Amino acid sequence: MTWEQGAIILILLGMLILFAWGKPRYDIVALMGLLAVALLALVPFEQVFAGFGHGAVVTVAAVLVVSRALVNSGVIDSLERWISRAGKNPVWQLVIITPLVALCSAFINNVGALAIFMPITLRMAAKSGTSPSLLLMPLAFASLLGGLTTLIGTPPNIIIATFRAEQAVEPFRMFDFLPVGGPIALAGLLFLIILGWRLIPVRRARSDEDDMFELSEYITEVVVPPESSLVGKRVFELEKMEGVDVTVVNLIRNDQGFPALHPNHRLKGGDSLVVRADADDLEELLKNSDLELAGQAEEHRQLLAGSEEVSLVEAVIMPGSSLVGRTAGGLRLRARYGINLLAVARQGSRMRSRLSRVRLREGDVLLLQGDDDMVANVLGDWKCLPLASRGLRLAKPRRLLLVGAIFLAAIGLTSLGVVPVQLALTSAAVTMVLTGFISAREAYESIDWSVIVLLGAMIPVSEALQHTGTAKLMAGGLLRLAGQLDAWIMITVFLVATMLLSDIINNAAATLLMAPVAMSVAQGMGVSFDPFLMAVAVGASCAFLTPIGHQSNTLVMGPGGYRFGDYWPVGLPLEIIIVLVAVPVLVWVWPL
């Protein structure tokens, strides 16, 4: 082993540890790795930033812009009218929604497809009295399964296609992934519809059509005014107020907290109470008591009393939102936008800190109050998905035929090999901007720049893995361990290993790390590398064991009321089914 090979191995190990830890963010970790290989001269200086102009990066950016334009076309309203026919049976509801989200995610970004269907699914659950938890996890998993079927369905497929092209072989085309991804997606959807949803814990559901979902873990902060009738009363008397169900989880007095609060603790004027309640109970608490929302004047609190000019909106923070990492108090929503942040809900943790100090995360659910138009505008700017609202509309004017024609023309050109996929989709994105389906500002906002930075930084790191001979070194070690094992067993190893890796790190990063090693193993065995590359692509897109494995899983965690451990009881059998289906199909479709 040369010093260059040892250095790149240490860099990759450090990156994997940081990816799994989640701090710093994955795009920053990728940049750190890129700088490390550059400073050690493991890649030529003139190629350090070449990854940002790579075809895979351009394609991913174009897909995100086109996805946003398709959403803007009015597809939500059109789909909602059709999906409403699903009835009240969870099986029939899943029969309708999971194939649709899978079909959409084959052509647009996975998270974008999920964002289209999640509000519709929550509305359908509310009308039928079905627990949203039974529908949202299958919806998220279906968005990942659909991405397996086309070149643009998910970033790992785009990356794998570029690896093949770099070997002086014709790149994978638009539907080359379908013969393998189609049977896998079909088997996965059948499992989710027939059995998978039954393995999901049932969370509380409501039949009230005004509420898309219910979370019992909303956290907010209220203040006891000096003249309040609650002064001198005990904590348990507040919690036992007629008509409300609230829990006091912390009391702050003179900047000192009392998280282990005794029920007999007496309240004083000026006390701040961190309380946990659902949206309805919070509203009733503020209506029927003289408590005030922390940091808000009395006239703002009275808006909750039913003014026709304002509404309550529940919204989930999407991946890439500008709110991620910021504190609730630092947003100054009342001063900037005339909007009140009433509460925050987060699954998987018990928040006890003051609302103003809560640092927001992806998947958090916000309870907002304000003017409909203003709320609609700021949610778009923040990349938040409205889930429960009064009259909030997502769709723009319907010009589905024109936008569909532009998109299908791009798909047709790249499928026939007339133009490369990055050129076809970039042309489609520019055309959609020029025709008004998406503004230039929306186009830039729709691009997940953290993913772009991740790809641009990881591509040179992956190339260093090959150029230093480290990929061949690792492949040689695997071949010595495997001995005389058949090629299909090694394909299974790469499929499972990539699956497990993508459950803890970004799927694009997992692909860039595993693909060069898989190619070297195939070349060392003297067999075609196509089934090995396809195995990596499938494994990278099948992160079903954790809520952090993919953004779609994170996005449904709050609205579905899921805990971290709710994913693997469904995800593990699903991944086993995928392995059993994928390996024979891979070997048959892409012969060794």
As assigned by CATH, the class of the 218-388 domain is alpha beta
Res. 177 pLDDT band, cuts 50 70 90:
very high
CA distances from 513 to 421, 448, 471, 496 (A): 23, 21, 9, 14
The residue-averaged pLDDT of 58-82 equals 75
What is the C-alpha separation between 98 and 26, in angstroms, rounded?
29
Predicted TM-score (pTM) of this structure: 0.73
Average pLDDT over the chain, rounded to an integer: 82
Query: What's the N-to-C CA distance of the chain in angstroms?
Result: 30
The SS3 assignment for 45 reads helix
Paired tokens of 485 = 């094992």
Paired tokens of 353 = 């800190």
The residue-averaged pLDDT of 425-454 equals 88
CA distances from 554 to 41, 98, 377, 550 (A): 37, 18, 24, 7
Tell me what pLDDT residue 541 has. 92
CATH code 3.30.70.1450 region(s) in the chain? 218-388
The residue-averaged pLDDT of 532-553 equals 90
Q: Which of 30-39, 328-337, 487-496 has the lowest mean pLDDT?
A: 328-337
The residue-averaged pLDDT of 282-305 equals 62
DSSP conformation letters of 121-184: HHHHHHHHT--THHHHHHHHHHHHHHGGGSTTSSHHHHHHHHHHHTTTSPPP-TTTTHHHHHHH
DSSP conformation letters of 508-574: HHHHHHHHHHHHHHHHHHTS-SHHHHHHHHHHHT---S-TTSSHHHHHHHHHHT--GGGSHHHHHHH
> Residue 219 forms beta bridges with which residues?
276, 344
Paired tokens of 293 = 């929302």
The residue-averaged pLDDT of 197-210 equals 63
Paired tokens of 81 = 């009218």
Give the residue, 428 or 286, on which the prediction is more confident: 428
Of the ranges 117-131, 492-506, 577-591, the best mean pLDDT one = 577-591
pLDDT in tens, 451-478: 889 888 988 988 888 888 888 888 788 7
Please count the other Cβ atoms lying within 10 Å of the Cβ belonging to residue 352.
Answer: 15
- Could you tell me what percent of the chain has a pLDDT over 70? 87
The SS3 assignment for 191 reads helix
127 pLDDT higher than 70:
yes
Paired tokens of 94 = 């899943």
Give the residue, 184 or 313, on which the prediction is more confident: 184
Give the residue, 574 or 280, on which the prediction is more confident: 574
pLDDT in tens, 94-118: 998 999 999 989 988 888 788 778 8
Res. 380 pLDDT band, cuts 50 70 90:
confident
pLDDT in tens, 238-256: 888 876 778 887 888 887 7
The two counts, helices (H) then strands (E), for the chain are 24, 9
DSSP conformation letters of 2-22: -HHHHHHHHHHHHHHHHHHHT
Q: Alpha helices, DSSP H only, in 468-506?
A: 470-482, 487-502
The residue-averaged pLDDT of 111-139 equals 83
Q: Which of 296, 364, 367, 375 is nearest to 332 (CA)?
A: 296
- Could you tell me what percent of the chain has a pLDDT over 90? 24
